[in-house]
Amino acid sequence: MIIEQTRPVREEHDAVTAPVPVARPEDVPTTAIAAAPPTSPGKVILEQMGGWPGVVYTNVPAIVFSIANASVPLLTSLAVAMASAVALAVFRLTVRREKLVSASGGIIGVAFAGAITVWTGTARDFFLVGIWLAFAATVVLVGSLVVRRPVTGMAWSWLYGTQFAWREDRGSRRAHDVATAFAAVVFAGRFAVNQWLYLADSTGGLAAAKVVTGFPLTALMGLVVIWAFRRTTKRLIKAR
């Protein structure tokens, strides 16, 4: 009787005092130790545009419009430009398998520019939207430098979180000042050149300027911004 009563107590005592298994470091998933670094905003935006080929594709309808405008009426030129934008969108959707948002962006841009051109009846107004977008970007970039909130720095903070005080780190702040200032110079130069050609009523020159001041300068600007991002990440995150 006594043995039958003490046996459950002993078993309960053994269960309580049994060692608790502890996971070894090699058994812990690596995702629990360190999360993958976030994607660069520049990379996200570039992917939404269809990558570097997408940046090149945006110039095609403008070139087609300028070539057609030299020999056919304005409405026909606009129709040819729209047809080229639609053909490119179909190619990007079916062959390159891009997202609908990035592939259809060219159609929307050409339709908006074409609507303004039809309204004014002037071929050069096909480039008017791009000219004033460059001006607006210049104002925003310069304004962010004046208030000591450079756009690239704010983008980096949005990506990695406000817990990293990049504005208090002199090296990071200077890097973003340089990147934002360089972007402002690119957009200001783009606006100045295209506005001068617009006032000179040079439709062909506007198409050429769109190509020259488009992809090459955008690529160079992207490299400077990437440099600023990596410098800040190295100083504030990887240094920890």
**Domain positions in the chain:** 52-121, 124-240
**Span between the terminal Cα atoms of the chain, in Å:** 65
Q: Give, in order, the Cα–Cα distances in Å from 115 to each of 127, 202, 230.
A: 12, 20, 42
Between 2 and 149, name the one with better pLDDT. Answer: 149
Read off the pLDDT of each residue in 58-82 and give the average, rounded to a whole number. 90
Q: Which two tokens stand for residue 65?
A: 């419009």
pLDDT > 60? residue 231: yes
Between 6 and 197, name the one with better pLDDT. Answer: 197
Instruction: Please state, in angstroms and rounded to a whole number, the distance separating the CA atoms of residues 68 and 59.
Output: 15
How does residue 58 score in pLDDT terms, banded at 50, 70 and 90? Answer: confident
Read off the pLDDT of each residue in 56-76 and give the average, rounded to a whole number. 87
Range with the largest mean pLDDT of 41-55, 106-120, 225-239: 106-120
pLDDT tens-digit series, residues 26-41: 443 433 333 444 555 5
> What size, in residues, is the chain?
240
Between 152 and 158, name the one with better pLDDT. Answer: 152
pLDDT > 60? residue 160: yes
